[in-house]
Amino acid sequence: MASNNFKFLFRLISLLIATASAQLSSNFYATTCPNALTTIKSAVASAVKKEPRMGASLLRLHFHDCFVNGCDASILLDDTANFTGEKNAAPNANSIRGFAVIDIIKSQLENLCPGVVSCADILAVAARDSTVALGGPSWTVLLGRRDSTTASQSAVISNIPSPLRNLTTQLYIFTNRGFTANETIALLGSHTIGQARCTIFRTRIYNETNIDSTYATSLRKNCPATGGDNKLAPLDTTSPTSFDNAYFKNLLNEKGLLHIDQQLVNEGIIYSQITEYSNNEEAFRTDFANAMVKMGNLSPLTGSNGQIRSNCRTLNEQISPSTRDVMKCQLLYSFS
């Protein structure tokens, strides 16, 4: 009975994703803001060139948005005296970044076509363009999402998978979003770029045994047993700023930085997929791109639902005249 309920839930989620994607379109801004995509691409390329780590940050920002009540830019909303956003929820606090890049892109688009391009769509396109900027695959981003007027810290805690959890829990969270085990492994391949803080991988390098001893020793030099929580290490020790299949090769050599990463090789079926990706980079790139399209279609707001925020950090009705002046200054600065 439990198995039948599980299959029904998975099919229902898949149906909802398919319905949502039918309401989106790859040419949504073709007439209303024809330069939207090139504007986003240029800004992302500039940001990643200045700081390669930003590519992973923008990709992760889209993921943390979509897994909490859908791809609706709720993650971008700031806390106010009367509103609690998602930025300070435990999985996000002192972790997610890239907000300033999104601010610049939004300012540029508001100058080109005010009130047209949503923050949710900016996140989706920026995730794709940042992946490409680091040598990764491209994919067609369906557009037409609108921005939420709500946020939920509790939903962040419930729906963002922790790198400290076991594999079964991780797979369960992704399955609840309609992803197969294969799609989940492909998405985890995004750990081929980016960095993690010492506090996230300290237990692994000091207490776990399924880690290459030389690799663990090198990590301990920058991540002490106590203190240094914000010291960084690359998720992919081989090519941390290139989107490739080195992450999977590292796992086969017990050089996964995070607990969840190295757990992947302990499952037979998953192990075979990791082996395939380590030998066939094109298969990984294709599967990753397809999984990203699916993630970008999670429960978007469309039609008259939500709004198109003028400032991604603030609901439209909350924007004061002084805030609009600040936005104008940010726009002038972004073009200077």
Residue 14's pLDDT band, with cuts at 50, 70 and 90, is: very low
N-terminal to C-terminal alpha carbon distance within the chain: 63
The answer to whether the predicted template modeling score (pTM) of the entire model surpasses 0.85 is: yes
In the set 62, 64, 191, 259, the catalytic residue is 64
pLDDT for 12: 46
Burial per residue of 20-50, b for 16 or more beta-carbon CB atoms within 10 angstroms, e otherwise: bbeebeeebbeeebeebbebbbebbeebbee
CA distance 266 to 168: 11
Least confident of 145-154, 261-270, 287-296: 261-270
Dist CA 247 CA 312 (whole Å): 33
User: From CA 102, how far away is CA 220, in angstroms rounded?
Assistant: 34
| Distance between CA atoms of residues 28 and 270, nearest Å | 37
Residues 299-334: tens digit of each pLDDT: 999 999 999 999 999 999 865 555 555 544 544 444
Helix (H, G, I), strand (E, B) or coil at 101: helix
CA distances from 269 to 14, 22, 259, 294 (A): 23, 33, 19, 22
pLDDT of amino acid 10:
45
pLDDT for 280-302, tens place per residue?
999 999 999 999 999 999 999 99
**Confidence band for 8, pLDDT divided at 50, 70 and 90:** very low
64 is catalytic: yes
DSSP for residue 162: P
